[in-house]
Homo-oligomer: A and B are copies of this chain.
Amino acid sequence: MTQIDEVFVSPATGRPLTKRGEATRRRILEAAEDVFADLGYHEASIVKVTERAGVALGTFYLYFDSKQAIFEALVIDLNARVRQSMTESMAGATTRLEAERGGFEGFFRFTAEHPALYRVVREAEFVSPATMRLHYERIVDGYAAGLRAAQSEGDIDPRLDPEVAAWALMGMGELIGMRFLLWEQDSEGAKPTRIEPGVFDAMMLFIANALGSNEQRKGEAS
């Protein structure tokens, strides 16, 4: 589940986990993702998580200190994965606009598959503000770096403030994803796996304008 090889220690004993322990920890974390996604942080309970994971209640506390602790672990884990998903989708892009398209595709794909991230982060302001900020800041940092690079290559409007733009773009993506992905459902109540292409393209036009990308400016010039 986690990308980075990391050695977890038992919060109870402080000792590194055995292979068996590692597997149990992963099952609990995966169950927590499901439960948090369905019920949100507050409605979720440790009992529900452990039931879904198929372990006993007490087992939870072998691996996590508290409900808040697993929330934090989950956010950090999901955050690493959504960024990886975005990075992968951006590979091969030759212009910033292609990178944006790829990045948002990766972001929305991940969101459709892992609604937990979304839902749980949005209600986390009072649960674990530091973790919530960490989540946003890690995304913004990478994003702003990408914009800065594009600026130095003359690919986007040099007047933009990369950090402000990054926050703006992330906010955009968050609400567009919420509205056109998570809230959307067909006549049978099924959730879509991706944003409707028309909407996605409309969003990309908005972004292209905002970044004043070369592609865009060429388009306008013609």
**Residues in chain A within 8 A of chain B (CB atoms):** 12-13, 39-40, 42-43, 47, 51, 119, 122-126, 133, 136, 157, 159-161, 164-165, 167-176, 179-180, 183, 198-199, 202-203, 205-207, 209-212, 217, 220
| Inter-chain contacts of A206 with B (CB < 8 A) | 160, 164-165, 168, 210
Are A167 and B157 in contact, with the CB atoms below 8 A? no
Given contacts A160-B202, A171-B174, 16 further A-B contacts (CB under 8 A): A13-B47, A13-B51, A119-B126, A123-B124, A123-B126, A133-B183, A136-B179, A160-B205, A161-B202, A161-B205, A165-B206, A168-B175, A169-B172, A171-B171, A174-B174, A210-B210
The 9 closest A-B pairs by CB, nearest first: A171-B175, A40-B126, A161-B202, A210-B210, A123-B123, A171-B171, A164-B202, A168-B172, A171-B172
| Inter-chain contacts of A160 with B (CB < 8 A) | 202, 205-206, 209
Separation of A120 and B164 alpha carbons in the complex (Å): 24
- Interface SS of chain A: helix
Choose among B119, B202, B212 the residue that contacts A125 (Cβ–Cβ < 8 A): B119
Chain B nearest Cβ from A202, distance in angstroms? 4
Are B171 and A173 in contact, with the CB atoms below 8 A? yes
Separation of A141 and B161 alpha carbons in the complex (Å): 29
Choose among B136, B180, B198 the residue that contacts A175 (Cβ–Cβ < 8 A): B136
| Inter-chain contacts of A43 with B (CB < 8 A) | 126
| Inter-chain contacts of A179 with B (CB < 8 A) | 136, 167
